[in-house]
């Protein structure tokens, strides 16, 4: 049984796909006007773990991450300049060049963090036709009105407005209503903005039934989710900041157009915090993945740090936490490496109890993933089992077959979701011979004692035997790969 916390109902609920074996997920993606910061990246690690957990459960998953390359203004509330255009002007480039550059950087960050590649990454600017069609539908059902600067959604017409964030529409949550001419209620938001008045010099613009202009920020997600996933799909994800505005507005738009709440489950990842403040552009406390790499941290260490925390808990990020994560991951890697070594003798003792223990751990890992993505618990189990197995090994109470079984059933399985490079480390298909492992250890010792001549000699010997040895900057000092890989 799989259970997820649903922001819509504020409860953990049993998850079942709407149709057959396929789970459809929409993940709100980045606005590509700058490098992603590690707070943003935390939210995509959460979406990746969600996807991988559903795959572990045997479902097929269709997940969309959109790329916002137009229409997201510097204020989330239809004011200010277009974020991408502003950057383009500063760098004397076109908005398209800015968007292409930062999309590429974003995808490279995802890859480094072992986030599975998405087949569909739709761009807002390529779906204007779908957005216009949806706005026309919203007009036809009576939820939209025109002002001199754009088309707005009338939130008062949607009686359930506020259902996700549980805010009251009458509560003047924003008092800027009178600043935007013609807006009826403070919570009303733009579906389309005309390139007149303050938006006169907007660069990316299209023809529409309401004159030349560009879309509001929220409509892209309603239009693209409908196009790729249908009127009603399984899960919608984003960060907690999306609850009160972006996702609330998506629900309103999609309901107005299709008379359905677009997703069954709404799941939100908590913030990454620095010095008590959310990591964010306006706070001036940004850190990118490249900056972590400069400090000699591998991206996978950041992924590990994120997963040691539940996605619905805040992470207080600092250098100390990164160092701790690095040490812990290194410890896990080295205990697995020790286990991997083939035994000279094979002693099978307490084998029924051991098989039972492995079985239990396997079940508990799955149960934890399926219990609203309890990754911290899974990681605890991995450490507990590594201690236990190493202890048995040092007492000569465990045989090769049991080690192999434990590695396959526990570590390879958990890594399908955690993706913290355990698979590479314990992969049993390309088992490295004991002789090579010993040579690699000798080489490391030579390097540690600065005998580089000897280290080079051993490296050559390893290569002659058909293996490559690669030094890594990170948590495991080296990696051995068969030469034909």
Residue with tokens 């939820």: 143
The nearest distance, CB 126 to ligand AMP, in angstroms, is: 18
Residue 43 touches ligand AMP, criterion: CB under 6 A: yes
What is the spatial distance between Cα 182 and Cα 268, in angstroms, rounded to a whole number? 33
Q: Which stretch binds Zn ion (CB under 5 A): 20-28, 97-105, 136-144, 465-473?
A: 20-28
The nearest distance, CB 39 to ligand AMP, in angstroms, is: 3
Residue 376 touches ligand AMP, criterion: CB under 6 A: no
Burial of 33 (0-12, 13-18, 19+ CB in 10 A): buried
Query: Do 485 and 430 contact (CB within 8 A), yes or no?
Result: yes
The nearest distance, CB 169 to Zn ion, in angstroms, is: 21
Contact map string, positions 277 to 316, toward ligand AMP, x by CB under 6 A: -xxx------------------------------------
In 341-469, which ranges are continuous DSSP H helix?
A: 351-370, 375-394, 400-406, 413-418, 422-426, 434-448, 452-464
- C-beta of 246 vs 393, nearer to ligand AMP: 246
35 Cβ neighbours under 8 A, 6+ residues apart? 102, 105, 106, 109, 288, 290
Please pick, from the candidates 25, 28, 361, 381, the single residue that binds ligand AMP as defined by CB under 6 A. Answer: 28
Residue 42 touches ligand AMP, criterion: CB under 6 A: yes
What is the spatial distance between Cα 253 and Cα 480, in angstroms, rounded to a whole number? 54
Burial of 479 (0-12, 13-18, 19+ CB in 10 A): middle
- C-beta of 31 vs 195, nearer to ligand AMP: 31
Q: Give the one entry of ligand AMP, Zn ion, none that residue 280 binds, where binding means its C-beta sits below a cut-off of 5 to 8 angstroms depending on kind.
A: ligand AMP
460 Cβ neighbours under 8 A, 6+ residues apart? none
Please, which of residues 207-236 interact with Zn ion by CB under 5 A? 221
The nearest distance, CB 163 to Zn ion, in angstroms, is: 17
- C-beta of 28 vs 279, nearer to Zn ion: 28
Please, which of residues 237-266 interact with ligand AMP by CB under 6 A? 238-239, 241-242
The nearest distance, CB 157 to Zn ion, in angstroms, is: 22
The nearest distance, CB 220 to Zn ion, in angstroms, is: 7
Please pick, from the candidates 25, 28, 113, 417, the single residue that binds Zn ion as defined by CB under 5 A. Answer: 28
Q: Which stretch binds ligand AMP (CB under 6 A): 37-45, 257-265, 413-421, 444-452?
A: 37-45
Burial of 392 (0-12, 13-18, 19+ CB in 10 A): buried
Residue 71 touches ligand AMP, criterion: CB under 6 A: no
Q: What are phi and psi of 22, to 5 degrees?
A: -100, 130
Query: Do 369 and 413 contact (CB within 8 A), yes or no?
Result: no
Assigned token pair, 305: 């740090």
Q: What is the size of the binding site for Zn ion (CB under 5 A)?
A: 2
Q: Which stretch binds ligand AMP (CB under 6 A): 160-168, 178-186, 272-280, 349-357?
A: 272-280
Characterise 42 by phi-psi region: left (phi > 0), alpha (psi -120 to 50), beta (else). alpha
- C-beta of 40 vs 185, nearer to ligand AMP: 40
The nearest distance, CB 246 to Zn ion, in angstroms, is: 5
Residue 39 touches ligand AMP, criterion: CB under 6 A: yes
Closest CA to 289 of 34, 11, 9: 34
What is the spatial distance between Cα 257 and Cα 158, in angstroms, rounded to a whole number? 11
A 10 A CB-CB count for 366 gives 18
The nearest distance, CB 238 to Zn ion, in angstroms, is: 6
What is the spatial distance between Cα 56 and Cα 102, in angstroms, rounded to a whole number? 31
What is the rounded (10 degree) CA torsion for 217, 219, 221, 226? -170
Instruction: State the number of CA atoms in the 13 A half-sphere of 2 facing the CB.
Output: 20
Residue 151 touches Zn ion, criterion: CB under 5 A: no
Q: Give the one entry of Zn ion, ligand AMP, none that residue 213 binds, where binding means its C-beta sits below a cut-off of 5 to 8 angstroms depending on kind.
A: none
Instruction: State the number of CA atoms in the 13 A half-sphere of 123 facing the CB.
Output: 11
Please pick, from the candidates 271, 304, 370, 411, the single residue that binds ligand AMP as defined by CB under 6 A. Answer: 271
- C-beta of 128 vs 358, nearer to Zn ion: 128
- C-beta of 28 vs 382, nearer to ligand AMP: 28
* Binding footprint of ligand AMP on the chain (CB under 6 A): 28, 30-31, 39-40, 42-43, 238-239, 241-242, 269, 271-272, 278-280
For binding to Zn ion (CB under 5 A), which residues are involved?
A: 28, 221
């Amino acid at each position: 049984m799989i259970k997820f916390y649903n922001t819509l109902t504020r409860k953990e609920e049993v998850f079942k796909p709407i149709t057959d074996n396929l789970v459809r997920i929409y993940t709100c993606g980045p606005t590509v006007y700058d490098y992603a910061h590690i707070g943003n990246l935390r939210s995509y690690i959460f979406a990746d773990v969600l996807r991988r957990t559903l795959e572990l459960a045997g479902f097929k998953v269709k997940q969309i991450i959109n790329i916002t390359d137009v229409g997201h203004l510097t204020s989330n509330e239809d004011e200010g300049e277009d974020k991408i255009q502003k950057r383009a002007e500063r760098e004397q480039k076109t908005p398209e060049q800015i968007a292409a550059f930062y999309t590429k950087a974003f995808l490279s960050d995802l890859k480094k963090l072992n986030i599975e590649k998405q087949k569909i990454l739709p761009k807002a600017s390529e779906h204007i036709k779908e957005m216009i069609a949806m706005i026309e539908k919203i007009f036809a059902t009576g939820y939209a009105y025109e002002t001199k600067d754009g088309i707005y959604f009338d939130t008062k017409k949607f009686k359930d407005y506020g259902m996700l964030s549980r805010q009251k529409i009458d509560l003047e949550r924003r008092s800027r209503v009178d600043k935007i001419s013609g807006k009826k209620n403070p919570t009303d938001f733009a579906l389309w903005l005309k390139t007149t008045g303050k938006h006169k010099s907007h660069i990316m613009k299209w023809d529409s039934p309401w004159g030349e202009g560009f879309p509001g920020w929220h409509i892209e997600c309603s239009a693209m989710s409908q196009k790729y996933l249908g009127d009603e799909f399984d899960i919608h994800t984003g960060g907690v900041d999306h609850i009160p505005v972006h996702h609330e507005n998506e629900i309103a738009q999609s309901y107005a157009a299709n008379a359905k709440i677009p997703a069954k489950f709404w799941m939100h990842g908590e913030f990454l915090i620095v010095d008590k403040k959310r990591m964010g552009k306006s706070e001036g406390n940004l850190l990118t993945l490249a900056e972590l790499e400069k400090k000699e941290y591998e991206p996978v260490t950041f992924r590990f740090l994120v997963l040691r925390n539940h996605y619905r808990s805040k992470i207080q990020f600092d250098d100390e936490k990164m160092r701790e994560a690095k040490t812990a991951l290194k410890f896990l890697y080295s205990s697995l490496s020790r286990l991997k070594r083939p035994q000279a003798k094979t002693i099978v003792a307490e084998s029924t109890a051991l098989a039972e223990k492995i079985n239990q751990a396997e079940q508990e890992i799955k149960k934890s993933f399926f219990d609203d993505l309890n990754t911290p618990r899974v990681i605890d189990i991995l450490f507990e089992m590594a201690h236990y197995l190493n202890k048995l090994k040092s007492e000569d109470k465990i045989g090769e077959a049991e080690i192999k079984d434990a590695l396959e059933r526990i570590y390879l399985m958990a890594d399908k979701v955690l993706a913290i490079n355990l698979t590479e480390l314990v992969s049993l298909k390309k088992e490295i011979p004991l002789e090579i492992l010993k040579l690699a250890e000798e080489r490391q010792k030579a390097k540690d004692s600065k005998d580089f001549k000897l280290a080079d000699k051993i490296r050559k010997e390893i290569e002659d035997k058909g293996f490559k040895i690669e030094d890594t900057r990170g948590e495991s000092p080296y990696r051995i790969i068969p030469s034909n890989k």
